[in-house]
Amino acid sequence: MGYSAVLRIWLVLLAIPAKLLDCLGLWKPLAIRFFPYMMATFVADFCTCLHPYKKKLFSRLPDFAGPSGQLKVLELGCGTGTNFQFYPRGASIICTDVNPHFQKFLKKSKAENDHLHFERDLATPGENLSGVSDASVDVVVSTQVLCSATSVEALLKEVLRVLRPHGAFFFMDHVCADHSTWTYICQKIYEPFWKCLFAGCNLCREPWKDLEKAQFSEVKLQHMWLPYTWLPVRPHIVGYAIK
């Protein structure tokens, strides 16, 4: 049985009791511990699907290296470290994530990607990067993070603050489908349970609107659909925005 089938069965079995536990205030402490294991196993097939899109997107990273030629990257919500393989040799990485239980998987990914220099880890959300100086990084990376941010607007303000002039924000995230489609109807039905199971992930966000309103000098954004017929996260945006 493939990961997609396992994930589908898991969603059905867990969604209703998770929602009940959430109503009682008992689900969140369990989810914080369980979520990293789920991301490292059940969602492996989904990450494989994203591989070619990430490879193409991150091929542009070297274009934004600083004057010294070394690229300094701040990754928001790095999770298990699935993006590390795409970063250019010698890049310096600052990892951020609000969930400390990812550290076990993050340590393994760091060991497997010794072509990178890992500067430090910060247990902080993208909306509060107070531990990072103004205009101090070349690139900020966010994949599957905007969907669960408390405020996309606040997150983008922090991104603009920490980016050096002409630095870039690279993003990839699932988004709300067109309101006239069946996918959108499915997203609206799934969303209350989906947010419980996937750490506050919202299915019906339209973050491209926030990106267009933010004070980037240029936004290169593409809408696409993933080849998963049953998942409510098929609609995606991918691209980068230049400060």
Predicted confidence (pLDDT) per residue in 29-48, tens digit = 666 666 666 676 666 667 77
Stated pTM of the model: 0.88
Per-residue pLDDT, 232: 87
Residue 99: strand, helix, or coil: coil
Cα–Cα dist 124/219, whole Å: 26
| pLDDT, mean over the chain | 87
Cα–Cα dist 158/129, whole Å: 6
Q: Are strands 235-242 and 163-174 parallel, antiparallel or unpaired?
A: antiparallel
- How far is residue 165 CA from its own chain's centroid? 23
In the chain, the percentage of residues whose pLDDT exceeds 90 is: 62
115 CB-near residues (< 8 Å, 6+ apart): 87, 89, 90
Per-residue pLDDT, 44: 65
Per-residue pLDDT, 155: 98
Extended beta strands in 25-150, E state: 72-76, 92-96, 117-122, 137-143
Residue 74: strand, helix, or coil: strand
Whether the pLDDT of residue 4 is over 60: the answer is no
Per-residue pLDDT, 1: 47
Per-residue pLDDT, 13: 59
CATH architecture classification, 3-242: 3-Layer(aba) Sandwich (3.40)
Question: How many C-beta atoms lie closer than 10 Å to residue 158's C-beta?
Answer: 21
Whether the pLDDT of residue 12 is over 60: the answer is no
What are the pLDDT digits (tens) for 162-208? 999 999 999 999 999 999 998 898 888 888 878 877 878 999 999 99
- Identify the residue with better confidence: 162 or 7: 162
- Identify the residue with better confidence: 92 or 24: 92
Number of H helices, E strands in the chain: 7, 7
Angle in degrees, 0-180, between the axes of helices 182-197 and 3-23, rounded to the nearest 10 = 70
Q: ∠184-185-190 over CA atoms, to 5°?
A: 95
The whole-number average pLDDT for the span 123-128 is 94
- Identify the residue with better confidence: 166 or 101: 166
